[in-house]
Amino acid sequence: MQLSTRRFVVIGRDEVPAFAAAAEMQPWVAGAGSLIVGWSTLAESPGATADVFISLTQMETAAVALGYGTCWLGIWDRDAVTRLIRGQQGGKVVSILAGGPAAGEGAPKAKLPLSKLVGRGRLLAE
């Protein structure tokens, strides 16, 4: 019995440039202190994919609590990243989280009010 379908690869500062080339349209990745690549051993399992996202979200929360900045990579070349981490067949790269010393507080993002996001018993209209 397989206990977990999640695997993670930590990419240190010295290795980040090789991965930055695979992070399409995101030149800022080259300056990241580290990357965490989330891998699922079950490529076609939605539950296994969700487990990777949940774990990375928990890692992000912990990093922020420790004073580090984090950012999810939105676009990356899955095949290139798989080669770089020497990924096995049958699994897949699910997501990548960049982290490092916080660059500052940043500007607050505009957010929708809760009343526009949450419906009671039905989906809200656009």
pLDDT in tens, 14-52: 999 989 989 988 888 999 999 999 999 887 888 888 999
The pLDDT of residue 90 is 77
Angle CA(92)–CA(64)–CA(109) in degrees, nearest 5?
90
The pLDDT of residue 87 is 84
For residue 19, give both structure tokens: 């991965």
Structural domains of the chain, with CATH: 6-117 (3.40.109.10)
Q: Please give the backbone phi and psi of residue 120, each rounded to the nearest 5 degrees, phi first.
A: -100, 105
Distance of CA 48 to the CA centre of its chain: 15
Count of CB atoms within 10 A of residue 90's CB? 10
pTM exceeds 0.75 for this model = yes
